[in-house]
Amino acid sequence: MEKNKTILLVEDHDISARSLVRILEKREYFVFRCENGMEALDYIREGNKYDLAIVDSSLSNSIVQGGEIMMESKIKNPSAPVISFSAYNHRPDNGNYIVMPKSMLIDSANKEKFLKFLDDLLR
């Protein structure tokens, strides 16, 4: 399986972000983390390429929210899947995104399922 794929991670909570980065880097993915929505939009609009975007749909201290980032990602990098996650229950925006609870990404009980899902998605 080809590794070293690039994942754009948009997460404003440091503990969750560090945990997720550690998990993904152990799996040999390169992770570019944006701490807020503006940083993510700048990264996307600069034409940076990534293989997958993982976006917190409820950024707490950001003018730009997850929905705008996900839409811009689909416009600028349409081949990259987008995973939207939140600690809160949100319904999918319009079916163009993979939506999952934050616990699926960081809880140890779900970690292997999530990593297998990512591996399959990025093949």
Q: What is the pLDDT of residues 11-60, one digit of tens each?
A: 998 988 998 899 999 989 999 999 999 999 999 999 999 999 999 888 87
Fold classification of 6-121 (topology level): Rossmann fold (3.40.50)
Better-scored residue on pLDDT, 84 or 109: 84
- Per-residue pLDDT tens for 67-85? 899 999 999 999 999 988 8
pLDDT for the residue 57 = 83
pLDDT for the residue 92 = 47
The sheet carrying 82-86 orders its strands as 30-34, 6-10, 52-56, 82-86, 98-101
Domain ranges of the chain: 6-121
